[in-house]
Structure 1
């Protein structure tokens, strides 16, 4: 009974071992590809491994962006056929060497899988490449409105690593783009307010290392604060002056005014009143004239001396 149980356990162990061996072999066969890393702008050349004389060579390209690309070369007719491949991907022919695939000035769009199948007099041979394209970032260093250094590594693939010298407190953020690149922005916040110093931003990337230096902390920050404080003080003084002027006019605006004698206004007489005042005088004169005429006539009629006129 015990021996039978041991046989069953041994059989299961052998079965599991065989399955694991088959799985490992299949994985190794399926992953028979080479990793190729290139930087944007380079021109890699991919070759095939084979034995014997080539009769036909086929390249199949599966990029991350775009459609499938194939290039087929027939040695017997010395002809090459291509379908939906970009202009910078071509077969090159070198003396005493088999055709190779060249990617002129590789870009992010050419990243993907490249498979070569060579049919020779000794059989078929397969070679695979996985192409990864790196994009170096664009470095820029500036000072923000607060006088803090800001370092930007734009459109890098993979994302760049930023550091500061001298070391200090900093904040970083990343922004991803549709083409797979990443922009990293770092702000240095540990600025000294007493001694001006040069701050250096260092960028580390698989495509290279770069650095830039700037001196904007704390000098620019102090100047900005001085202008801000001067502006605030000026505004406060103007407001206080305006309030004082308004208060002064309100205080002296309610004093009693000095009584001044109004100008004498001449009485206004209408034309009718003047006529009324003139008419009695005219009547009187007329009466006097009548009396004088009567007396004159009487004197003349009696031949009396004019100086002996009777009294009226």
Structure 2
């Protein structure tokens, strides 16, 4: 409510300053100065208060944007001349009267001073117009991600005033453009998030007044955001848990594979095995000795030479 009140006060200040500026300009120029207010896209015809029989008519235009424009009409030669003027500014001819200046579909670029000078049999005269161009803003009303109504009055000149019904706290931002227009953006702060909020945005501007109504559902949007947030957290936790399990099993398997092998036990060489290996040789020697002794006894018994064997 406070923000809406501040906007109303600011709008009134702008209007007062505009009126004071117009008044000061009119006083400085005297009675020969007039203020002309036009809306973008409209057309108008400017005339001079002619006196007597004119011989020459001249318009000098000094716009806020662009160069100087001049249009000259010579009565004696019935000739017109123009320099560096836009296409929507030209002469318009009337039956039995000198030509007048016509502005077709005025734009912001045509805002400025329009000076008329003419010479007649009664002398030289001068007339000044101060043209102010109004640009009506483009109204748009929508709901943001949090379910709050957002009202925008785009490219208005002067800046528009935005009011909410019902009146609640709101924030307004202004963005100035290079062509002199201003976009006003206001966000309505809803009081309840459990019910549908039906709000109306009212745009007040010198070129006219407009309004739009919208119904936003903050609860649905908030619940949706909470649900998406919970799903995201759950997915992240599941992924972390899965990675922890995989890491645990991998670490456990690596430890099992890297266990040290038990040392190989060298075979015990027992004395019994040595005895078993020696016994065949001993038995063989014993047998040889027995045979040798038998042969010796037989030789001695037969008185044979020891180097001869029986039957050989």
TM-score by length of 2: 0.67
* CA displacement at 1:216 relative to structure 2: 2.0
Please name the residue that 2:194 is paired with. 194
* CA displacement at 1:239 relative to structure 2: 7.3
* CA displacement at 1:245 relative to structure 2: 5.2
What do the CA deviations read for 1:169-195 (whole angstroms, capped 9, x no partner)? Answer: 100011111211111010001342121
* CA displacement at 1:244 relative to structure 2: 8.8
What do the CA deviations read for 1:25-70 (whole angstroms, capped 9, x no partner)? Answer: x956646311000011111110110222221100011111111111
- Mapping for residues 195-274 of structure 1, pairs under 5 Å: 195-231=195-231, 234-235=234-235, 238=238
Counterparts of 2:208 and 2:220 in 1: how far apart (Å)? 32
Please name the residue that 1:124 is paired with. 124
Distance 1:94 1:34, change over 3 A: same
Counterparts of 2:247 and 2:92 in 1: how far apart (Å)? 93
What do the CA deviations read for 1:205-235 (whole angstroms, capped 9, x no partner)? Answer: 1112222222223244333343245326625
Counterparts of 1:162 and 1:230 in 2: how far apart (Å)? 37
Structure 2 residue 139 is matched with structure 1 residue 147: no
Q: Is the CA contact 1:114–1:131 (under 8 Å) kept in the aligned structure 2?
A: yes
Higher relative contact order (CA 8 A, sep 6+): 2
Please name the residue that 2:161 is paired with. 161
Q: Is the CA contact 1:191–1:218 (under 8 Å) kept in the aligned structure 2?
A: no
Gaps of 5+ in 2: 1-25, 257-261, 268-276, 285-309
Q: Is the CA contact 2:65–2:109 (under 8 Å) kept in the aligned structure 1?
A: yes
Q: Residue 94 of structure 2: SS of its match in structure 1?
A: coil
Distance 1:220 1:133, change over 3 A: farther
- Mapping for residues 25-174 of structure 1, pairs under 5 Å: 30=30, 32-174=32-174
Instruction: State the aligned residue count.
Output: 257
Cα RMSD between the aligned structures? 4.4
Counterparts of 1:217 and 1:44 in 2: how far apart (Å)? 47
Distance 1:211 1:29, change over 3 A: closer
Counterparts of 1:166 and 1:62 in 2: how far apart (Å)? 46
TM-score by length of 1: 0.67
Distance 1:179 1:31, change over 3 A: farther
What do the CA deviations read for 1:262-304 (whole angstroms, capped 9, x no partner)? Answer: 9xx9x9xxxxxxxxx9xx9xxx9xxxxxxxxxxxxxxxxxxxx
Counterparts of 1:243 and 1:91 in 2: how far apart (Å)? 82
Gaps of 5+ in 1: 1-25, 257-261, 268-276, 285-309
Counterparts of 2:123 and 2:167 in 1: how far apart (Å)? 61
Distance 1:75 1:139, change over 3 A: same
